[in-house]
A and B are shown apart, each in its own frame.
Chain A
């Protein structure tokens, strides 16, 4: 019963490099999302998905790509890393599109990926 698993936990990139942050959940949740958390800024939504094959942009999508080919996985791709993307990234999932199911279980978050771009 792993919940939401994020890899890697830590990563250092050079400016211009690309990489993929992995997120997997084993709860058969329809809804998955990516947030970044910065000091003084709180959690900000990057991209989200309401089911396999369906994705949409959040508040801060620039510089990031996502895809959702399976229910379990929702990777976040950094196309060309910039120092402004230094942050802690969280993946979250929820039980369903219906609010009541979402509310009962809340959003389950992963433990985060701490990314530094130099």
Chain B
């Protein structure tokens, strides 16, 4: 069974305090790994797709990396506006759908 586990469940940072979110996965063949951001009361917003181990993607203060068993979302010098829930999802081979983790709720204090 395909599984996606995100840690920590919640993370509180001070503005400027860099950290990483983890997404570990177990799938029968990975076609792609997705990161999303979700603000309260809104739908998930697409951030990155990673296709193979060793791949990295960057967007402003966010950097996503991928290994054969996990992905990290690194947040460098975060700002309060980075506060959100970050979701990880995998696209297993042979399927048309995504399997989501439960998310990490990030709170960045000024």
Contact B34–A107 (Cβ < 8 Å): yes
Contacts of A97 in B (CB 8 A): 96
Q: How far is the CA of A50 from the CA of B91 in the complex (A)?
A: 15
Closest residue of B by beta carbon distance from A45: B97
Contacts of A45 in B (CB 8 A): 97-99
Q: How far is the CA of A112 from the CA of B42 in the complex (A)?
A: 7
CB distance from B59 to the nearest CB of A (A): 12
Q: Which residues of chain A from 67 to 118 have any CB-CB distance to chain B below 8 Å in the complex?
A: 90, 92, 97, 99, 102-112
Q: CB-CB contacts of A2-19 with B at 8 A, as 1s and 0s?
A: 001000000000000000
CB distance from B76 to the nearest CB of A (A): 22
A31-B96 in contact given A99-B32, A99-B91, A103-B51 (Cβ < 8 Å) = yes
The majority secondary structure among interface residues of chain B is: strand
Closest residue of A by beta carbon distance from B31: A99
Interface size class of A (residues with CB under 8 A): 20 to 34
Q: Is B45 an interface residue (CB 8 A)?
A: yes
Q: Is B43 an interface residue (CB 8 A)?
A: yes
Contacts of A31 in B (CB 8 A): 96
Contact B100–A43 (Cβ < 8 Å): yes
Interface size class of B (residues with CB under 8 A): 20 to 34
State which of A50, A106, A111 has its C-beta within 8 Å of the C-beta of B49. Answer: A106
- Counting chain A CB atoms within 10 Å of each CB, the highest count among B34, B36, B98, B99 belongs to B98
A106-B46 in contact given A41-B102, A42-B101 (Cβ < 8 Å) = yes
Contacts of B87 in A (CB 8 A): 42-43
Closest residue of B by beta carbon distance from A112: B43
Contacts of A40 in B (CB 8 A): 102
Contacts of B100 in A (CB 8 A): 35, 42-44
Instruction: Tell me the B residues contacting A by CB distance below 8 Å.
Output: 31-32, 34, 36, 41-47, 49, 51, 87, 89, 91, 96-103
Given A44-B100, A45-B98, A104-B49, output 18 extra A-B contacts at Cβ < 8 Å.
Answer: A33-B97, A42-B87, A43-B100, A90-B43, A99-B51, A99-B91, A102-B91, A103-B49, A106-B36, A106-B46, A107-B34, A107-B46, A107-B98, A108-B46, A109-B43, A110-B43, A111-B42, A112-B42
